Amino acid sequence: MIARWIVAAALAASVAAPSAVAQTPADTGAMTTRTSRAEAQAHVVDALLQKGDLEAASREFGILVRDYADQESLVRPLGERLRSIAENGPGLVLGVIQDGKYRHHWTGVEVTAPAGWTFTVQSAGAGGVDKVELADAKSPASGAFVTFRRVNTAPARIADRLLARFQDKISQMRTISRGYIAYRLRPDSVQRRTISGQQAWSAEGEYVNAKGQKMIEYLVFVQTGKSEVFYSIFAAVPDFARVQAQFEPMVESARIP
């Protein structure tokens, strides 16, 4: 297996390379054991993919990413295979939905669905942006989705990048072609805030949808050095206060590494 060869080569190089701190036999043994465990987990994912069990493959890949993220030569090739599958068909390989929680593989972000809401569809979009949608059976006009994108943003650039994302999104949503008629941002709703210890912006927008219903959207943008997260929660005007109150704990309690 190519991944196994790469790992072996990397280990050989690390042993041969000079180091300021000599490794003890215990250190070397621990590294070898960890690599072997990662390889075994990668084999499980590969076998499930060959079998066509995408749901199980996604679950096992999530374990690989969570526990062995440093094993890049194993994680990256499998990750590319899963993204290719998602971009051309089933999006369920992007993350795991379990016990009302969704964990996105690529960013490690974990969110919990509000009571009465369920995660439904996952999809891979352009530019590495992945999306998971939520639905409320009691209120068909209401809806929500969360997007995730893995990035590499320097700490000094986080604030600027966050503001740019906010401005771009608002500009995009002011177009009728996207189903937002007479979109208007509520100026007094715009807030700079901190969510899960990360920099964020939130705001509310008013618009009319294609069915002529007056709607309100709650937008939340979170930026870290490693990920970009965006929440869109929308509801008809009479239901908005209730829906927003349901989602605020989800937003505040998200795990965003």
pLDDT averaged over the chain?
84
- Tens of pLDDT, residue by residue over 135-193, are 987 777 899 999 999 999 999 999 999 999 999 988 877 777 677 888 999 989 999 99
The interaxial angle of helices 2-16 and 72-88, nearest 10 deg, is 150
Q: What is the mean pLDDT of residues 73-95?
A: 80
Distance of CA 112 to the CA centre of its chain: 13
What is the per-residue pLDDT for 159?
A: 96
**Strand 227-236 with 143-150, pairing:** antiparallel
Q: Which amino acid is at 234?
A: F
Q: What is the DSSP letter of 131?
A: E
CB-based contacts of 106, cutoff 8 Å, min separation 6:
65, 79, 83, 94, 128, 130, 148, 150
Q: Which of 2-16, 69-83, 90-104, 152-166 has the largest mean confidence?
A: 152-166
- What is the Rg, in whole angstroms, of the alpha carbon atoms belonging to the chain? 21
Which stretch of DSSP H or E encloses residue 195?
A: strand 191-195
Which residues is 124 bridged to in the sheet?
130
Residue 9 in tokens: 């080569």
CB-based contacts of 180, cutoff 8 Å, min separation 6:
173, 174, 205, 207, 209
7 pLDDT above the threshold of 90: no
Which tops the pLDDT comparison, 143 or 21? 143
- Tens of pLDDT, residue by residue over 192-223, are 999 999 999 999 999 998 889 999 999 999 99
Q: What is the mean pLDDT of residues 61-82?
A: 84
- Tens of pLDDT, residue by residue over 91-148, are 778 898 989 999 998 889 999 999 999 999 999 888 889 999 999 877 778 999 999 9
22 pLDDT above the threshold of 60: no
If we measure between CA atoms, which residue out of 190, 244, 243 comes closest to residue 221?
A: 190
Residue 72: φ, ψ to 5°: -60, -35
pLDDT band at 20 (very low <50, low <70, confident <90, very high): very low
What is the per-residue pLDDT for 110?
A: 95
